[in-house]
Amino acid sequence: MAMTLGCSPSTPELLEHEPAVAEARSVIRVASFNTALSRSSSGQLRRELRGGRDPQARAIAAILQRVRPEVVLLLEVDRDAEALAILERDYLGVAQAAGGEPLRYRHRFVPSTNTGVTSGLDLDHDGRSDGPGDALGYGAFPGQYGMVVLSRYPIDVDGIRCFGDLRWRDVAGADLPDDASTPAPHDWYSPAALRRLPLSSKNHCVVPIEAGEERLHLLVSHPVPPVFDGPEDRNGLRNHDEIRLWAQLLDGAPGLPRVLPQGARFVLAGDLNADPHDGDSRGDPVGRWLLHHPRIAATPVPSSTGAVAAAKRDGGANTRHRGPAAQDTADFPDGDGAPGNLRIDYVLPSTTLTVVGSGVFWPAPGEDGAELVTASDHRLVWVDLE
């Protein structure tokens, strides 16, 4: 296996290398899946995965074995090399359900993440500086809520570019939160905090993948949820600017490089924590910055029968949604003040690619695999690219 562990946002470290040439295919399946495999303490995931018997991880593996993407972004997997090795060897590498077949990837990239990295400052204004809300990205320990790219095809390690160190205040048009108790604008964060705080709550990375004779760039991120804050809306503002950053990187905004030349083939993947029609995101950042971007193909939209059935079953907030239920990718609470089911997970190809299929793994009750989806509150999203 060729494994890279992103130890800094711009300099991934090559840990292992096993030369391999993946067979070129006419169609490549690319997927994104928030697995909800993060745990509350460092090392907990590793301990729970040992022995290959963790029921949640077995269901996650069974879903992946059914969909069988050639390239997949896994989210909310704690950044722990041993835990990831166990997940691949004892779960993905072992048939998990009737008719399932082992699934093996030769190449892995684990970006560094700002989650749980201490800032030494009181970022959430709770009177302390050592809580999860005071980390550079919300987290109880470094590496919580991490992400990993798994690929059948070689990853161009030297070509990886990450922007996890980019300070929020340095991004053009940064919409910084305001402390309403003071007359100064945009002053929720102190000058010391703004000198330290990155825009990316986890990381933003461009990962080049050599798919046969073609190069496919995978753009990965996992912006902060636009909730769990106060009237200053610090998370809503950060979520918006994290999503907008992709448009700025594609366009070459002031102070930022254009990460991909015109004509490049790419797929933007991740849990963006923003629905283009419903939910709590600020100013529809997905619709405004991505779905209408001239370099991104917004259609066809992946969908499922299970999402429609879940919206009917759950009722509540879902009855007031404007977006099509079939396009939902996450099953959230539906009662008073709850968001209901939303479309927040994306696999968005460039217009230079041809989409020949897409979907969300969310079988309706009674359909094959329906019992697996409760392993996460998110669903796996995939596209087939010619």
Residues whose CB is less than 8 angstroms from the CB of residue 158 and which lie 6 or more positions away in sequence, other chains included: none
User: Which pLDDT score, from 0 to 100, does residue 100 have?
Assistant: 87
Residues of the chain with pLDDT > 70, as a percent, come to: 94
Over range 163-178, report the average pLDDT: 98
> HSE of 220 in the Cβ direction (CA atoms, 13 Å)?
35
For residues 214 and 367, give the distance between their C-alpha atoms in angstroms, rounded to a whole number: 36
Residues whose CB is less than 8 angstroms from the CB of residue 168 and which lie 6 or more positions away in sequence, other chains included: 174, 176, 194, 197, 198, 199, 238, 241
Q: Please determine, for residue 18, whether its predicted confidence score (pLDDT) is greater than 70.
A: no
User: Which pLDDT score, from 0 to 100, does residue 11 have?
Assistant: 37
Q: How confident is the model at residue 128 (pLDDT cuts 50, 70, 90)?
A: very high
Range with lowest mean pLDDT among 23-27, 125-129, 377-381: 23-27
Provide the edge-to-edge strand list for the sheet that holds 204-211. Answer: 161-162, 204-211, 214-221, 266-271, 345-349
Q: Are 243 and 204 a contacting pair, CB within 8 Å?
A: no
User: Which pLDDT score, from 0 to 100, does residue 13 have?
Assistant: 34
User: Which pLDDT score, from 0 to 100, does residue 16 have?
Assistant: 35
40-73: buried (b, 16+ CB within 10 Å) or exposed (e) per residue? eebebbbebbeebebebbbbbbbbbbbbebbbbb
User: Which pLDDT score, from 0 to 100, does residue 1 have?
Assistant: 52
**How many domains is the chain built from?**
1
Range with lowest mean pLDDT among 7-16, 119-128, 308-317: 7-16
Over range 86-112, report the average pLDDT: 95
User: Which pLDDT score, from 0 to 100, does residue 19 have?
Assistant: 43
Over range 82-100, report the average pLDDT: 94
Q: How confident is the model at residue 341 (pLDDT cuts 50, 70, 90)?
A: very high
Residue 213, burial from CB neighbour count under 10 angstroms (0-12, 13-18, 19+): exposed
User: Which pLDDT score, from 0 to 100, does residue 43 have?
Assistant: 98
Over range 88-94, report the average pLDDT: 98
Residue 371 belongs to domain with CATH number: 3.60.10.10
User: Which pLDDT score, from 0 to 100, does residue 212 have?
Assistant: 84
Q: Are 71 and 31 a contacting pair, CB within 8 Å?
A: yes
Nearest to 217 by CA among 163, 159, 291, 147: 159
For residues 284 and 277, give the distance between their C-alpha atoms in angstroms, rounded to a whole number: 7
**Torsion sign across C-alpha atoms 143, 149, 155, 160:** negative
Q: How far is CA 120 from CA 41, 42, 63, 128, 243, in A?
A: 20, 19, 40, 9, 26
Write out the residue range of the structural domain in which residue 129 sits: 2-385
User: Which pLDDT score, from 0 to 100, does residue 204 have?
Assistant: 98
Higher pLDDT, 185 or 2: 185
Q: What integer best gives the mean pLDDT of the chain?
A: 94
User: Which pLDDT score, from 0 to 100, does residue 25 have?
Assistant: 66
Q: Residue type at 317?
A: A
Q: Please determine, for residue 114, whether its predicted confidence score (pLDDT) is greater than 70.
A: yes
**Torsion sign across C-alpha atoms 71, 76, 79, 85:** negative
Q: Please determine, for residue 8, whether its predicted confidence score (pLDDT) is greater than 70.
A: no
Query: DSSP state, 172?
Result: T
Q: Are 31 and 67 a contacting pair, CB within 8 Å?
A: yes
Range with lowest mean pLDDT among 97-106, 125-134, 235-244, 279-288: 97-106
Nearest to 256 by CA among 265, 264, 247: 247
Range with lowest mean pLDDT among 12-21, 169-178, 200-209, 271-280: 12-21
Over range 143-148, report the average pLDDT: 98
**Torsion sign across C-alpha atoms 14, 57, 105, 357:** negative
Q: Are 217 and 264 a contacting pair, CB within 8 Å?
A: yes
For residue 305 the two structure tokens come to 């029968």
Phi, psi of 286 (to 5 degrees): -65, -50
Tokens 């990239």 belong to 109
Q: What is the pLDDT of residues 53-73, one digit of tens each?
A: 999 999 999 999 999 999 999
Over range 271-298, report the average pLDDT: 97
The DSSP string of 123-141 is SS-SS-SSSGGGBSBS-SS
Higher pLDDT, 5 or 121: 121
